[in-house]
């Protein structure tokens, strides 16, 4: 249906206001407007309200199908992905996940093992329509020396298809070994990566955060935290990160993931934290599928009563940048998933109520993570931009979000890509033993 070369026009497509900043059209109450997209030489030559551009007799009429820009997935763990068959989570808890993953990493994460699982993950993400992805890389010794070179190779291999970023991942207690952490920060800087840690309420948290910020400033790195992935109301490291950022006058981008405990804390405490997060210009990413899986799992015969996600509505109302992302896929932190950002958006809509009204929530899987990741031109559709978009069957939100849309068409630089998902059997030999 999409021509393989030259220029063409897709007429009568449905575009969303939140992802087409330059389109001056009459949008309906769901945020959609009918439009015509003209593609030439891999770029969007023109984006106009339907019927407004000079008629083109061979235009392809898409009859009101939704077209979205390609997705941006800003929080994943493709170094962990797909180990589930050889290392399941014994009880579905966070501690179960941490211990199982640590054991598997120590025993099995050779460069070849990591590379093959990463490539599998990237092929899935690409087929589903993702064009940029940030992964965390477990960087506790000696894994950092194995995984960072693999990442650098993978980033080259995927250049032009998926814009790949990486952030190091270690518990904040690892920062206490100052000399080692300084070496790690230098290694991350050489790879043009992002400096990341997992914060816990350790007694010396503020001092350790200062060291993290000092290294980020020294090497000009952006920051990416895992914070408060727990129901413990005493977990307030999101606030501590905001305070440390203000205290250190940090000017780079900061993305904070999870922040689950915030949803359990008393209102006054929450308001104070959100004020500081807004003031420090932190961005927050929620990981709804992983949170739903791990949080409020008590293994005592009771039913979960909490959704696990953080306070995205309250954050967005204060101007805090908010995103949702995939997080883990088929590993002890989440038994399922396939790096399909439409699935993430569909689940987020249900878990986090991204509806009635939808407003500008679609930005959370495209434009906002692109800003956080400093990706110019990604996450929106505009004349002059790359013709990277996804054509769905759905013509409205209920059609789009009720079926998996497995037959979506992914267009990259003007051409429909081959959307073959990798076969699980490819990984079988990595799962034995």
- Shortest Å distance, C-beta 352 to Zn ion: 17
Strands 322-324 and 389-391, sheet pairing: unpaired
Give me the catalytic one of 182, 207, 229, 269.
229
Q: What are the structure tokens assigned to 412, written together?
A: 């990259």
> Quick one: 138 or 327, whose CB is closer to Zn ion?
327
For residue 326, report the phi and psi dihedrals to the nearest 5 degrees. Answer: -75, -40
- Shortest Å distance, C-beta 79 to Zn ion: 11
Rounded CA separation 391/54 (Å): 23
SS3 of residue 143 by DSSP? helix
- Shortest Å distance, C-beta 227 to Zn ion: 10
> Quick one: 76 or 368, whose CB is closer to Zn ion?
76
- Shortest Å distance, C-beta 332 to Zn ion: 12
Identify whether 229 is a catalytic site residue.
yes
| Contact partners, residue 95, CB within 8 Å, separation at least 6 | none
SS3 annotation, 97-136: HHHHHHHHHHHHCCHHHHHHHHHHHHHHHHHHCEEEEEEE
267, 257 contact by CB (below 8 A)? no
> Restricting to residues 44-63, which ones interact with Zn ion according to CB under 5 A?
none
Q: Peptide bond before 357: cis, by omega within 30 degrees of 0? A: yes
For residue 186, report the phi and psi dihedrals to the nearest 5 degrees. Answer: -65, -40
For Zn ion, what does the binding mask look like between residues 317 and 356, x meaning CB under 5 A?
----------x-----------------------------
Q: What are the structure tokens assigned to 272, written together?
A: 């104070």
Distances (CA, A) of 71 to 59, 326, 368, 402, 403: 26, 11, 10, 19, 18
- Shortest Å distance, C-beta 134 to Zn ion: 10
Residue 202: CA count within 13 A, CB half-sphere: 16
> Quick one: 73 or 327, whose CB is closer to Zn ion?
327
SS3 of residue 324 by DSSP? strand
Calculate ∠ Cα 136-140-144, nearest 5°.
70
Please give the size of the binding site for Zn ion, defined by CB under 5 A: 1
- Shortest Å distance, C-beta 342 to Zn ion: 20
> Taking CB positions, which residue lies at the least distance from Zn ion?
327
Closest of 304, 303, 305, 287 to residue 347, by C-alpha: 287
- Shortest Å distance, C-beta 75 to Zn ion: 6
Q: What is the set of active-site residues?
A: 229
Residues in the site for Zn ion, rule: CB under 5 A? Answer: 327
């Amino acid at each position: 249906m999409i021509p393989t070369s030259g220029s063409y026009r897709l007429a009568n497509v449905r575009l969303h206001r939140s992802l087409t900043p330059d389109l001056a059209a009459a949008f309906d109450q769901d945020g959609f407007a009918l439009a015509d997209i003209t593609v030439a030489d891999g770029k969007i030559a023109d984006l106009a309200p339907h019927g407004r551009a000079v008629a083109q007799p061979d235009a392809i009429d898409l009859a009101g199908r939704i077209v979205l820009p390609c997705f941006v997935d800003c929080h994943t763990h493709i170094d962990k992905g797909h180990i589930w068959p050889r290392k399941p989570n014994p009880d579905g808890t966070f501690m179960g996940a941490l211990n199982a993953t640590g054991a598997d990493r120590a025993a099995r994460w050779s460069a070849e093992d990591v590379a093959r699982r990463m490539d599998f993950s990237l092929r899935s993400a690409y087929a589903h329509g993702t064009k940029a992805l940030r992964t965390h890389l477990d960087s506790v010794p000696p894994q950092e020396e194995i995984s960072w070179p693999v990442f650098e190779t993978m980033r080259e291999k995927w250049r032009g298809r998926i814009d790949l970023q990486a952030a190091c991942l270690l518990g904040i207690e690892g920062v206490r070994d100052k000399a080692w952490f300084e070496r790690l920060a230098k290694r991350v800087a050489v790879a043009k990566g992002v400096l990341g840690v997992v914060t816990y309420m350790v007694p010396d948290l503020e001092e350790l955060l200062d060291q993290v910020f000092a290294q980020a400033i020294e090497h000009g790195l952006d920051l990416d935290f895992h914070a408060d992935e727990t129901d413990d109301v005493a977990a307030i490291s999101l606030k501590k990160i905001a305070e440390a950022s203000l205290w250190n006058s940090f000017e780079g981008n900061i993305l904070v993931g999870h922040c689950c405990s915030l949803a359990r804390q008393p209102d006054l405490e929450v308001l104070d934290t959100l004020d500081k997060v807004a003031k420090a210009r932190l961005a927050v990413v929620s990981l709804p599928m992983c949170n739903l899986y791990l949080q409020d799992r008590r293994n005592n015969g009771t039913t979960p009563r909490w959704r696990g996600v953080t306070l995205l509505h309250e954050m967005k109302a204060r101007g805090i940048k908010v995103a949702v992302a995939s997080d883990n896929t088929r590993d002890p932190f989440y038994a399922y998933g396939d790096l399909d950002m439409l699935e993430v958006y569909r689940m987020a809509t249900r878990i986090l109520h991204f509806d009635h009204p939808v407003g500008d929530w679609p930005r959370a899987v495209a434009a906002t993570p692109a800003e956080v990741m400093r990706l110019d031109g990604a996450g929106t559709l505009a004349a002059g931009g790359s013709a990277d978009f996804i054509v769905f069957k759905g013509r409205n939100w209920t059609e789009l979000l009720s079926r998996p849309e497995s037959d979506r068409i992914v267009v990259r630089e003007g051409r429909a890509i081959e959307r073959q998902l990798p076969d699980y059997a490819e990984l079988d030999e990595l799962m034995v033993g």
